[in-house]
Structure formats: structure tokens, C-alpha cells
Amino acid sequence: MENLLYIKLHIMSPVHIGCDDVYEPTGFKFDANSKKLIAFDPLVFIESLSDSDRDKFASICMKGTIESIIELYRFISSKTISGREVDVSDDMISHYKKVKNISGNRIQQELNKFTISRTAYTPYIPGSSLKGSLRTAYLSMLAKEKKINNWKRKAKELEFELLGGKFETDPFRMIKVSDFLPVENVKTKIIYAVNKKKGSMTDAKGPFQILEVIQPGSVFGGVINIQEPDTSSDITNPIKKEKFLLSLRSFYGSGVNSKIIKQFNGADISPVRLGRHSGAEFVTIEGNRDIKINLGKGKSKCLDHATTIWLASESRKPGSNNGLQPFGWAVMELVDKPVATIDPMKFVVLKSAISPDTKQNPEPLPPPPPEPLINKLIKKIKVLKPTDAGIISTVIRDALEHLETEEDKKKFALAVKEHMGKTFKKSKAKKRLDLFIE
């Protein structure tokens, strides 16, 4: 038996769910007038360049030095390119200008500070991220019921104790959480994460971070399926809808602002917190926390609470704490039917370079039939120099991820080998493509 919960997920504060990737210097620029980061396909950018500019761009890339990254920023910022637009703050624009003008022995340090961590390439909430938050809340409720406090053994053993066994008897494996896709206009923004001491709200140690976040006001839709185990199952304590939702309201309800709850006018809702910088208290089991606190110089201690908090900021060094926001708050609204969602890929289509004086045809011709993906990828390889290892690696990654047949992958691998010539034997590309060539 299945118990389907149709959910609208409302983002109430900035959410960063990383994808283990950053914005590469060859794939973005900042537009000071529109206050946007423009993310573009590096290969589209290269194709838009004149022959002389393409040679200049290639010569900068081939230097492979720290200083050449600054040269890339300067070169790219002087060109017209369109792509996916992401909001940024005034201070982020100032920061970008500062980075383009640095020199000497400060370059490495400043570039490290200017690393921009991406959120998912397509704006969605992975079901695995949400399920982790749901699990923590449910385990905390069980710990209260069983009066288990100050657990000193491994955290995994505590989960086994609370759930009544290991994987085979874990009732939470009967909870299926879909990915949550956009419902309304979902936007991301590049912001700073600053660390503050709890209580005094003065600056804590450590530099700021730069993160791409899903903005408050974004709405996603998905499904949570609470399945009933069959009679032959070893699961003796299946999860029930009412208790499941109660655990969320109990665990997260004390942390969410009451004004947030009121604006839903009595709808069936449950608060939840997810993503990076959600706070150590919200990713650990209540009453059994053992949070490591770094004291500096290799020293540390463990407490049942965190002593600092990460907050979202428009500025690297905010002059006051007004306007700082906590990370990760969302509200799950139960609705009576599946939520209509939007294909997330529509938000990440990277447009071709457009010259500002291009004239629009008042009677456009019908579009040609779509070119096969394998042909597009091979064309992208052929406009590159065999020594453009970084960009070639990006094309290979896209090809292996999106080409559907082994035949196309083999065709692509052979094209790369032929184009790279002698450089192929000593390249990382060979290791990634040999499987398809042999």
C-alpha cells in the first residue's frame, strides 16, 4: 500500500545545494550595468571570437600560470557574450573589479577567495537532500520517545538502535522522495556566506564563502511516497503519515520564524531545513549531539550546540547584521493533487554569442531540424587546439554524460583521438576514452 503526499516546497531563505563544481574562469563574466553574472558555454564563446581574438585567447590559456587567470578575466570581460543570467549584489561587482586588477604575490590568495561554488546546474531540489532532513527529524522524535540521551557511541549505531536494526529492518527505506522540480519562476543568486558568533553576532574566524543559492520565493513540486511494507517484511515499525509529519513540525518548528508560518493561512504545512549551512543542530539528532568546536592551533572540544552560525549576506564585510539571512529554510505544503512542474532545463539554456548590432528578421524562417548531438560535440572539438586540455575535458564530460549509445561514444572518442594527434597519448583524455576506442 502507498500513501502519496503531494508537496509544494516553498523556499523561504537562501538554499545552497552544491554540485561539487565551481564557475570556471572561462565560463562567466559579470555585467555591472545589469548586476548579473553571465554564465556561458566556453565553446560558444570561442566560436564567437575573431581569428585574432581566438589566437589571443588561446595564448593566454596556454600560459597555465596564476597570472594568466587574471588575464582571462580581463579578456572575457571586454567581450560581448550572452548566456544564463544570475543575480549578483553591488559588492560582488566591486569584488570582481578588484580581482581583475590584482597583481604580484596577492593573486593566489585573492583568487582563492573568489571561488564561486555552483548550485545544481538545473534548478531543482534533489530528493536525497530532502530525505536526509526528513530522516533527522524522525530520528530525533524516536530518541525522545525512547528517552535516549547523550549517546557516546557511533552515530550509525544510534540510528540502528532507534530504528530497530540495520538496512533490512530500517523503516525509512520505505520512504521514497522524488526530486523536486520548479513550479514557479525559480531564480538563483550569487551571495556571500559570512560566519558569526552566536549571541554576540560578531565576526567569527575564517574567510567568507561565495555561493550560488536558490532565492527565497522559489517554489518546487514533488512527491513523498510513504510505503507500507508487505507482510513478509522484517520491518516491524513502519512509518505512519501523521507521525512522520509531526516529527517535522516538532524538530523544525522551534527554529522557523512564526511570521513564515502565518503567511500560509492555515494550510497543511511542515517546516524543513536543507542544504549547506543548515546549522549543526539541524543535521544531528536532538539530545545526542556531539558537535566538534575548533579552538585553533589544533585544539578542539565537543559540545551539544554550535557556537557560530553561517548567514547569507550581500556583502563580504557587512557593516551591520541587518539584512543577514539564515540558510536553508523551506516549507512543505501538502496539496490534494500532483503539482504541475516546469522542465528545469529551460532555465539553463546557454544562448549563442549575439552581436549587439544583429538585426531581427521580421519574418523568421522555420527552424531547421535539430542537428544530432554527436555532430555538435565533434564540431566543438574541431574548433579547439589539441593543447586546450581544460576545455577539451569539459566537452568529453558532456559527451559521456549525454550521448546515449555506445556507437556514438565510440565515434566521438575516435574523433577526439584523431583531432588531438600526438598529444592524445599523454593526455587525460586518453584514459577517459580508451574504453570506447578498444
Closest CA to 313 of 39, 129, 113, 90: 90
Sequence letter at residue 153: R
Query: Quick check: helix, strand or coil at residue 336?
Result: coil
| Residue pLDDT, tens place only, 54-65 | 999 999 988 888
The domain locations on the chain are 2-16+122-345, 18-119, 373-437
Query: Quick check: helix, strand or coil at residue 366?
Result: coil
| Residue pLDDT, tens place only, 152-194 | 888 888 888 888 777 778 888 889 999 999 997 789 999 999 9
Task: Output the DSSP codes for 35-51.
Answer: TEEEE--HHHHHHHS-H
What does the pLDDT read at residue 51? 92
Own/partner pairs for 255-263, CB < 8 Å, 24+ apart?
255/279, 255/281, 255/282, 255/329, 256/12, 256/329, 256/331, 260/12, 260/329, 260/331, 261/331
Tell me the whole-structure pTM to 2 decimals: 0.76
Write out residues in the chain with pLDDT < 50, as ranges: 348-368
What does the pLDDT read at residue 369? 55
Within 10 angstroms of residue 277's Cβ, the number of other Cβ atoms is: 21
What does the pLDDT read at residue 362? 38
What is the rounded distance in angstroms from the CA atom of residue 326 to the CA atom of residue 313?
9
Please state at what angle helix 90-100 crosses helix 66-77, rounded to 10 degrees. Answer: 120
What does the pLDDT read at residue 145? 92
What does the pLDDT read at residue 19? 84
What does the pLDDT read at residue 233? 81
What is the rounded distance in angstroms from the CA atom of residue 32 to the CA atom of residue 147?
56
What does the pLDDT read at residue 406? 84
What is the rounded distance in angstroms from the CA atom of residue 40 to the CA atom of residue 72?
14
What is the rounded distance in angstroms from the CA atom of residue 35 to the CA atom of residue 93?
7
State the DSSP H helix or E strand holding residue 22, giving kind and residue range, or none if neither. strand 18-22
**DSSP character for 372?**
P
Task: Output the DSSP codes for 284-315.
Answer: S-TT---EEEEEETTEEEEESS-SEEEEEESS
